[in-house]
Structures are given as C-alpha cells and as structure tokens.
Amino acid sequence: MDILDRLSEGPASLAELSRAFAVHKTTIMRSLHTLEKRGYVVRFPDGRYHLGRSVLALAAAAVEDRGVQPVAHPHLVALNARVGHTVLLAVLEGEDVVYIDKIEPSGSVRTPSRSGLPAWLGATAVAKVLVGSLGPEGRQRMLERVEFIARGPNTLKSPEQVLATWEEAGRRHWAADREEHESSADYIAVPVYGLDGAVWAALSVGVPTAAMDFQQLTALLPALHETSCAISADLGYRGEVPAPETGESP
C-alpha cells in the first residue's frame, strides 16, 4: 500500500522507491513484482513504475458505487455556507441535463430550479457547461433537442446563438445564464471532472437579480472553481482543473 501511495504522487524508479522507504532494492523489487503481476503497477521502458490498470479499475468501481451526488454533496454544503446563495449540481443523462442536488440558502431569497428536474438545454448555465464539453457532433445532436421558447427576457432566439454559447462555455471553462431561462435570476456554472478526465458534472450558483448584480455574481467564480477542484479530486481526477477565463460574459 505504501508503494501505491507513493506512485499516486507520480512515477518512480526502483532506486527512488528504495530511498523513499529506506529499504533495500531487493525487498522493494519483491513487492513490485507482486503488484505488477496483479496489474496494480506497470513498469515503463524507462524503468519507472506507474500505477496500473487494476488501481484505475478499483477507483472507477468506488466512484460508480458511490455516485457523483454523494461525493459532491458535502462540498456543495460548504460552498453554500461560504457564498450564502443557492448551489446546484447537474449531470448529463443521455440527452438531458438533470439537476441532481440543490442546497438552498438559509434566508428566504431562493431560486426556483429544483433537484431531479431537467435543465433547459437552450439557456441554463449548467447545460452550457455540460453540452459545451461535448465534441462538435455531440453539440449538434443536442442542438436538435432545443426548444426555442421565450422563458426569460434574454432567452436566446436562434440555433446559432445557442451553439455559440455552448462552444464558448467549453472554451472558457464556465458559463452564465443572465435571465435567459427565467426572469429575475442569474446563474454561473463551472465543470467538474471525473476519473477519466471528462466533464462529469456542472457546479452552479444562482441568485435573484434583486439580491446581487452580475458583476458580484461572477466574483464568486474563484470559489466555484476551488470547489470544483475538490469534487474532481474526490471523483478520482488527477489533472489540473482549468480555471474559468473571465472577461466579457460567455
């Protein structure tokens, strides 16, 4: 287990592992041989050892067993306490974007989005993030499902507008819904990554426009990104979660 813990920090040679544990190379080699035989480590041509497929399979099974929502929920609670506004989590289920968790603020100022319900593909910040993470073919397929119905004062009116917001969300690693889906409420969202490096969920904060202006809302992006990093790590992601590229709103 100590060897696996060390390799989780990065590949290492036999000599490096021997020094790390102050153990003779022969002893380390015996342990490596057993781990390699069972697929828990793999030796690369350069002589360095990496975590093997069996470790990845165990991690994937653990995440699948728990699911995204139980892993993310404590982080949503902490973010809600930190920012004092509604926090939501959504995932892509087939060709629908569905809210799977929602933490309300303690006060009376709340947003109407509900856990368990689908998010409108044509406007919501979480949909922009999740669909924006797909390739061109995936985005085009999802575009065929968008209903162009006015739901808020700033609802997007054309397929070209929706496609552009999806593409921009994917490029800039965040998205906004500025009264596009519903009147008097703004949302921002960032991606959450999973074990395989793909976007597994979208993390969002929503506020009534009467409670906070859009500039104040986007100032919460660093807090969302920090929470996304923590959730992604708990889901087994070992890469760097891209920071939102701010500037003019997506």
Q: How far is CA 137 from CA 89, 141, 163, 202, in A?
A: 25, 6, 11, 20
The crossing angle, in degrees rounded to 10, of helices 125-132 and 159-172 is: 70
Structural domain boundaries enclosing 166: 67-234
- Per DSSP, 12 falls in state B
Residues 9 and 42 in one domain: yes
Do 94 and 45 lie in a common domain? no
Average pLDDT, the chain: 87
Identify the domain boundary among 29, 62, 95. 62
pLDDT tens, position by position, 11-57: 899 999 999 899 899 999 999 989 988 888 998 888 899 988 887 67
Helices (H), the chain: 2-7, 14-21, 25-37, 53-66, 68-83, 125-132, 136-143, 159-172, 214-218, 221-234
Sign of the alpha-carbon torsion through 30, 31, 32, 38: positive
pLDDT value at residue 117 = 59
DSSP state of 73: H
Per cent of the chain over pLDDT 90 is 48
One domain for residues 224 and 152: yes
CA distance 125 to 111: 14
Q: Are 41 and 35 in contact (CB under 8 A)?
A: yes
pLDDT in tens, the chain (250 residues): 788 888 877 889 999 999 989 989 999 999 998 998 888 899 888 889 998 888 767 665 655 544 789 999 999 999 999 999 999 999 988 888 988 999 988 765 555 555 555 677 888 999 999 999 998 999 999 998 888 877 777 888 889 999 999 999 999 999 999 988 888 889 999 999 998 899 999 999 999 988 899 999 999 999 999 999 999 999 989 899 999 998 654 5
242 is a domain residue = no
**Quick one: 42 and 84 in the same domain?**
no
The percentage of the chain sitting over the pLDDT mark of 70, rounded to a whole number, equals 90
Q: Identify the residue whose tokens are 């969300």.
A: 169
Give me the number of domains the chain comprises: 2
